[in-house]
Each structure stands twice: as structure tokens, then as C-alpha cells.
């Protein structure tokens, strides 16, 4: 992927707010998206913190929505859900909470 230089940290933050508002995202997805921009590590960290503080990024909410939607729409089982969430570096406690939230 080519780097999208020339954008300020504020402009990147605005783009990522839209990215997160469009669909629930996990930290890993946002971090991967951030790699497309030529920003310092500190600027990237500050953007992640800002997204969390503004509630655009919430791992627990992501895990719950992800588990519910994949279970009901794609008929994924709990083992597949657990593996998919682990692959997205979601904390084990949040994975367990998401799996418990599924109602059959």
C-alpha cells in the first residue's frame, strides 16, 4: 500500500472517525488502517487514544456486535467466533463476554 502523505494528524483522525462510525472496528483494524498514513508513532498513538476517548473505538462493543452479527447472519458457531476474535487480538475476557451474550 502506498503511504498517504500530506495529511495532518487532525485530518487522519477525522477520516478514522468516519471509518469507525461506518462500522464497528477493533483496535487491530484501526492500527492497520493507520499504517497507510505517514505519521509518527506518537501521532498514531494519540489518534488511537482520541478515538477511544470519543467512543469511536471500543473493543468490548466491537466483540459483542461482531459475535452477535456473525452468529445470527452467517450462522458461525462459538468456536469459529472465538478464533476470529482471537485473530483480531481481542482480550480473552471480552471474547468470553461476547460468547455469553449470544442468545440462541
Rounded to whole angstroms, what are the CA distances from 57 to 6, 27, 40?
25, 7, 20
Instruction: Say if 4 falls within a structural domain.
Output: no
**For residue 76, what are the domain limits?**
59-101
pLDDT level of residue 4 (50, 70, 90 thresholds): low
C-alpha cell at 18: 468516519
- In DSSP terms, 37 is beta-bridged to 4
pLDDT level of residue 2 (50, 70, 90 thresholds): very low
36 and 70 share one domain: no
Residue 94 has pLDDT above 80, yes or no: yes
DSSP secondary structure letter of residue 4: B
69 and 91 share one domain: yes
**What's the rounded mean pLDDT across residues 19-46?**
96
**What's the rounded mean pLDDT across residues 82-95?**
98
Average pLDDT, the chain: 94
Residue 1 has pLDDT above 60, yes or no: no
pLDDT level of residue 95 (50, 70, 90 thresholds): very high
Q: How many domains does the chain have?
A: 2
Amino acid at each position: 500500500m502506498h503511504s498517504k502523505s500530506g495529511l495532518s494528524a487532525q485530518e487522519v483522525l477525522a477520516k478514522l472517525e468516519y471509518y469507525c462510525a461506518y462500522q464497528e472496528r477493533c483496535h487491530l483494524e484501526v492500527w492497520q488502517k493507520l499504517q497507510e498514513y505517514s505519521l509518527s508513532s506518537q501521532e498514531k498513538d494519540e489518534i488511537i487514544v482520541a478515538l477511544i476517548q470519543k467512543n469511536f473505538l471500543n473493543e468490548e462493543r466491537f466483540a459483542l456486535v461482531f459475535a452477535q452479527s456473525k452468529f445470527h447472519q452467517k450462522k458461525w458457531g462459538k468456536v469459529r467466533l472465538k478464533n476470529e476474535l482471537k485473530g483480531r487480538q481481542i482480550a480473552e475476557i471480552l471474547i468470553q463476554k461476547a460468547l455469553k451474550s449470544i442468545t440462541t
